[in-house]
């Protein structure tokens, strides 16, 4: 059985008081009654407080990014060791905003993936096509390249530490969601790629999340598709009611 996961990417939102308040709100609503693993990704500066606040609960705290080097003269960056030292063991890599605004390429992401895996972090690896790719029917090629160049080099045993997050860029923060059928079509394609490149077992066991304008009122239908194992949520993860409404979409 694949893990069902709902992860909230808070992006550059919520100061320390707001982080505390949102976590309290989420915890007060008893999210333990779910089959899903729940992940939240606050900003770097609020990670440690979030880890402390969620200690002993079923909420996993993730970072939104990390540097590919273990240490060094990289002003303003955060290393894998720093994350581990505050008990953050999950990291989101390859989010489309990192790719678009911070120039993260597939090759750079391959290095980040290696560093994260070397230190036993779980990776939520994001990828997805832009609108122009879909309009020119190039979306399957783009997704395949992102996976081949950023991820497919890892060893078989490392796949247990990888969660995939398919996020079509045209659906992120736009209110435009991929239809459940479009999501399922791409997720099935990704699972076939996994089957052909890394084997049946890994293909069956790897969770593939969908991200892009998931809301409480569309989550259930998207999550009901056989190859969709949960979601990566941006805007709607900033309100406890909406986020847990989405979690409730997991059967
Ligand atoms: C995201 O940024 O990962 C995302 C899916 O955002 P939103 O849910 O706001 O579209």
Helix (H, G, I), strand (E, B) or coil at 70: coil
Q: DSSP letters along the chain, please?
A: -PPPEEEEE-TT---HHHHHHHHHHHHHT-TTSSSSEEEEE--GGGHHHHHHHHTTSSEEEEES---SSSSSS-TT---HHHHHHTT--EEEE--HHHHHHS---HHHHHHHHHHHHHTT-EEEEEE---HHHHHTT-HHHHHHHHHHHHTTTS-GGGGGGEEEEE--GGGSSSS-PPPHHHHHHHHHHHHHHHHHHH-HHHHHH--EEEESS--HHHHHHHHTSTT--EEEESGGGGSHHHHHHHHTT--
Residue 77 CA to ligand 1 centre (angstroms): 23
For residue 67, indicate whether it is catalytic: no
- Ligand 1, atom 7: closest residue by C-alpha: 234
Residue 61 CA to ligand 1 centre (angstroms): 17
pTM, rounded to two decimals:
0.97
pLDDT (tens digit, 9 = 90+) per residue, 75-123?
Answer: 999 999 999 999 999 999 999 999 999 999 999 999 999 999 999 999 9
Q: Are 178 and 211 in contact (CB under 8 A)?
A: no
Active-site entry in 97, 104, 129, 167: 167
Total domains, the chain: 1
- Ligand 1, atom 6: closest residue by C-alpha: 234
Binding site per annotation, positions: 9-11, 173, 213, 234-235
For residue 139, indicate whether it is catalytic: no
Give the model's pLDDT for residue 111. Answer: 98
Number of residues that make up the chain:
251
Question: Residue 140 has what DSSP assignment?
Answer: H
User: Could you write out the three-class secondary structure of 225-242?
Assistant: CCCCCEEEECHHHHCHHH
Residue 53 CA to ligand 1 centre (angstroms): 24
Ligand 1 site residues (CB inside 6 A) read 9, 167, 172-173, 211-214, 232-236
Q: Which atom of ligand 1 is nearest to the CA of 213?
A: 10
Residue 58 CA to ligand 1 centre (angstroms): 22
pLDDT band at 1 (very low <50, low <70, confident <90, very high): confident
Give the model's pLDDT for residue 110. Answer: 98
Q: Which atom of ligand 1 is nearest to the CA of 235?
A: 9
CATH number of the domain within which 167 lies: 3.20.20.70
CA separation for the pair 46, 6 (Å, rounded) = 20
| Residue 31: pLDDT over 80 | no
Q: Which atom of ligand 1 is nearest to the CA of 9?
A: 3
Q: Are 64 and 11 in contact (CB under 8 A)?
A: yes
CA separation for the pair 103, 97 (Å, rounded) = 9
Range of the domain at 28: 5-247
CA separation for the pair 54, 147 (Å, rounded) = 32
pLDDT (tens digit, 9 = 90+) per residue, 142-169?
Answer: 999 999 999 999 999 999 999 999 999 9
Average pLDDT rounded to a whole number, residues 236-246? 97
């Amino acid at each position: 059985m694949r893990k069902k996961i709902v992860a909230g990417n808070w992006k550059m939102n919520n100061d320390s008081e707001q982080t505390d308040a949102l976590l309290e709100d989420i915890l007060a609503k008893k999210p333990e009654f779910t089959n899903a693993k729940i992940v939240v990704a606050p900003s770097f500066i609020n990670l440690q407080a979030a880890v402390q606040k969620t200690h002993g609960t079923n909420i996993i705290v993730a970072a939104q990014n990390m540097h590919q080097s273990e240490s060094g003269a990289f002003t303003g960056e955060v290393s894998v060791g720093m994350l581990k030292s505050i008990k953050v063991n999950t990291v989101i890599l390859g989010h489309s905003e990192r790719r678009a605004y911070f120039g993260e390429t597939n090759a750079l992401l391959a290095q980040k993936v290696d560093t994260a895996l070397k230190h036993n972090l779980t990776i939520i690896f994001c990828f997805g096509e832009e609108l122009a790719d879909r309009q020119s029917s190039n979306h399957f090629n783009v997704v395949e390249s992102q996976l081949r160049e950023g991820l497919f080099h890892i060893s078989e045993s490392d796949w247990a530490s990888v969660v995939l997050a398919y996020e079509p860029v045209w659906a992120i923060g736009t209110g435009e969601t991929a239809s459940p059928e479009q999501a399922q079509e791409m997720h099935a394609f990704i699972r076939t790629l996994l089957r052909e490149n890394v084997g049946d077992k890994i293909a069956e066991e790897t969770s593939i999340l969908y991200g892009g304008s998931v809301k409480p009122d569309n989550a259930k239908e998207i999550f009901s598709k056989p190859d969709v194992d949960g979601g990566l949520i941006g805007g709607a993860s900033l309100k406890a009611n909406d986020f847990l409404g989405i979690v409730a979409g997991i059967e």
